[in-house]
Structure 1
Amino acid sequence: MEKTGAAIVGCGTIFEQHARVLRAMEEAELRLVVDSEPSKAQREAGVYGCEWEQDYRTILERADIEVVHLCTPHHLHAGMAEELLAAGKHVLTEKPVAHTPEAAASLRTAAARSTAQLGVVFQNRYNESSRKIRETIDSMRLGRLLCLKGAVTWARTPGYYTENPWRGRWETEGGGLLINQTIHTLDLLQWFAGGEIERIAGSITTDVLGEYIEVEDTAHACLDFSNGVRALFYGTNAYLTNRPVELELIFEQGILLQRQDRLYLLQGGEETELCRPAQSASGAKSYWGVSHGLLIQDFYRHVRENKPFWLDAEESSRALELVYGIYEASRQAAGIRDSDRVQPS
């Protein structure tokens, strides 16, 4: 089998999740790593036995590289992806698809014009618990979904932001907790709920990290969907440890609970464990989810078979729009006028 040539741009925190998966894939080969800091690129190139570059634009002329993984800061996702797609390179980018709705809209246009594919990493949709939840909703085994909630209680230290100055800034991160850490949970809530979002109420606050960031570290929201489903959400980076994401879905004939990364069915007064997470082959942190490998392999399968990947620019923009909907709801609740706005429009 001829291997698909791959490159990874960005050798930061999430780099290893992509590189380890590529090294284990028979059908793909990591041929190039890129980072604006040469020492990082050189180090990872040595570990993975590939070439390195400082400028990602060298990829544009390389016929031996077909797929590019973007593991860069948020504000670089859309612009890099547009250039790569225009050159016919398939792009798999970490979330968010872009750092503002406007950048996402531009990228959707570029993706529609390109013959190459764009995929976005929302790996938690591939978790076994997520798949079982989705199957339960679609099959109506428990009747209609009535309401659901999600809670994320994580910790981020001042050093998390000071060591990577692009974080904690509207201009480069696009927000804080919502767009970085909890966007995965918000994506699951809207994916499970179905329908269009008709109403968003909520607020953002900076409870403990205000000395270090200009964005939020805590948020809550109430989301009403066109099909009558309501979702409640709470998230914070102000806890003192990282705990697994908690989900609850109330159906007409039962309740699904995700806690400690396990999925349970509560029905008729009895609680049954439905699944527990597999160990991550890529070394992923448990609270990230363990399905990077499944998503990456699925993206390559779609590329080889020339089939549209389902987590494309359009689908992945839904979570970003929800994030910015909560920002707007918080702004309106606080009585902030357009002229007072501190975050990007």
Structure 2
Amino acid sequence: MKKLNSAIIGCGNIASMHEAAILSCHNANLYAVCDIDSSKTLEMKQKHRCQVFAQYQELLKSDTIDVVHICTPHYLHAPMAIEAMKAGKHVLTEKPMAISVSDALEMVRVSKQTGRMLGVSFQNRFNHTSRRVKEILNTGKTGRVLGARAFVTWHRGAEYYSRDKWRGKWETEGGGLLINQAIHTLDLLQWFMGDIDTIKASIDTRFLKNVIEVEDTAEATIKFKSGATAFFYATNGYPLDSVVMLEIVCEKAVIRMEGDVTIKYSNGDIEHISDDEKANGEKAYWGCGHKALVHDFYKKLPEGQHFEVDGNEALKAIKIVNAMYVSHKIKDYVEVG
């Protein structure tokens, strides 16, 4: 099988996850990297003997590149993805796919127009525990979903924002905790529970008031079209990055995800599910889903199959986050379109 030539645009922290996933993928070849910081591209060139670019526009001119991974600041995701697809490249972008619903819709339109695959890194869907929970819910074994709760308690201090000046600003990050950290849990909630009807949310900057413009704490009541309700809380003010807790109450079982999964059935049975592969190190709370997601993207490409976290699917999370910001402003429930 011919290997697909890959390029990574943006060589910051998250790029290492894409780098490792590409290198472990049997039909992908890390052909090029791009960053305005030459020290980062030089390091990658020395490790992998890949091509290096300082400007992404020059990278996109290469006919050798098949797939572009976008690992840049949030506000660059949409314009870079659109240019890449118009240049004939398939795109796998980090979340959020865009910082506005209108930009996300344009990405979806260009993907359809060009016939290029657009994927978004909601890697938590690819953790073994997440996929098993989804399978179990789909079987109907647990009965109708009645409600849920989710907690994201992580730490992002002043130094996190001072390292990268684009963070903490509405214009360049597109928001704070919700669009950056908690978006993964919001994505899982709607993936597990179905379409959302309305949301009422509030946001606040409780810990870094004089450091960032955006929120570091948020809560919401989320009403689903099925009739179920979820209660959500997230903060970046916790002393450490604790494991996300997500609990789903069904007619015949209670499913609790907190790293591993425990399912307590109403008949007394208990089922435990662990991830096949455990993440280690400072970013262990990210899980191991990046590799599985990237591998699936490259598997689907040559076969012309649908990639499950495409633009239309990832757009749902952007609409949820946008509805939460609007709800906070008007202090009322907002429909999620």
Q: TM-score range by the shorter chain?
A: over 0.9
SS in 2 for 1:302: helix
Match of 2:276 among 275, 278, 282: 278
Greater Cα offset, 77-86 or 308-317: 308-317
- The letter of the residue matching 1:293 is K
1:3 CA displacement = 1.5
Instruction: Give matches, 1:275-314, under 5 Å.
Output: 275-280=273-278, 285-314=283-312
1:61 CA displacement = 2.2
Q: Give TM-score scaled by structure 2 length.
A: 0.95
1:108 CA displacement = 1.6
Which residue number in structure 2 is paired with residue 177 of structure 1? 177
Which residue number in structure 2 is paired with residue 328 of structure 1? 326
Q: How many pairs align?
A: 332
Are residue 91 (structure 1) and residue 91 (structure 2) matched? Answer: yes
SS in 2 for 1:161: helix
Which residue number in structure 1 is paired with residue 26 of structure 2? 26
Mapped partners of 1:86, 1:281: distance in 2: 36
Which residue number in structure 2 is paired with residue 224 of structure 1? 223
SS in 2 for 1:136: helix
Instruction: Give matches, 1:90-169, under 5 Å.
Output: 90-169=90-169
Match of 1:262 among 260, 263, 269: 260
Q: Deviations over 1:141-179 (max 9, x none)?
A: 011111111110000111110110101000000000000
1:47 CA displacement = 2.0
SS in 1 for 2:230: strand
Which residue number in structure 2 is paired with residue 246 of structure 1? 245
SS in 2 for 1:298: helix
Greater Cα offset, 205-214 or 99-108: 99-108
- The letter of the residue matching 2:23 is R
- The letter of the residue matching 1:132 is R
Structure 2 alignment gaps of length 5 or more: 333-337
1:111 CA displacement = 1.3
1:248 CA displacement = 0.3
Q: Quick check: 2:34–2:59 contact (8 Å CA) kept in 1?
A: no
1:193 CA displacement = 1.2
SS in 1 for 2:31: strand
SS in 1 for 2:226: coil
Q: Give TM-score scaled by structure 1 length.
A: 0.93
Mapped partners of 2:101, 2:238: distance in 1: 29
Structure 1 alignment gaps of length 5 or more: 335-345
CA RMSD of aligned residues (A): 1.6
Which residue number in structure 1 is paired with residue 335 of structure 2? none
- The letter of the residue matching 1:166 is W
Mapped partners of 1:50, 1:283: distance in 2: 27
1:283 CA displacement = 6.7
Greater Cα offset, 278-287 or 102-111: 278-287
Greater Cα offset, 34-43 or 231-240: 34-43
SS in 1 for 2:272: strand
1:270 CA displacement = 4.6
1:50 CA displacement = 1.0
Q: Deviations over 1:205-245 (max 9, x none)?
A: 00101111000000000011111011111100000000000
Q: Which runs of 4+ in 1 moved over 6 A?
A: 281-284
SS in 1 for 2:326: helix
Mapped partners of 1:216, 1:311: distance in 2: 26
- The letter of the residue matching 1:21 is A
Greater Cα offset, 30-39 or 291-300: 30-39
Mapped partners of 1:293, 1:214: distance in 2: 33
Q: Quick check: 1:280–1:291 contact (8 Å CA) kept in 2?
A: no
Mapped partners of 2:134, 2:27: distance in 1: 29
Q: Quick check: 1:17–1:282 contact (8 Å CA) kept in 2?
A: no
- The letter of the residue matching 1:210 is K
Which residue number in structure 2 is paired with residue 315 of structure 1? 313
Q: Quick check: 2:60–2:84 contact (8 Å CA) kept in 1?
A: yes
Q: Percent identity?
A: 41
Counterparts in 2 of 1:220 and 1:281: CA distance versus 1, 3 Å: closer
Which residue number in structure 2 is paired with residue 234 of structure 1? 233
Q: Quick check: 1:167–1:173 contact (8 Å CA) kept in 2?
A: yes
SS in 2 for 1:146: strand
Q: Deviations over 1:77-117 (max 9, x none)?
A: 00000011011100000000101112112212111111211
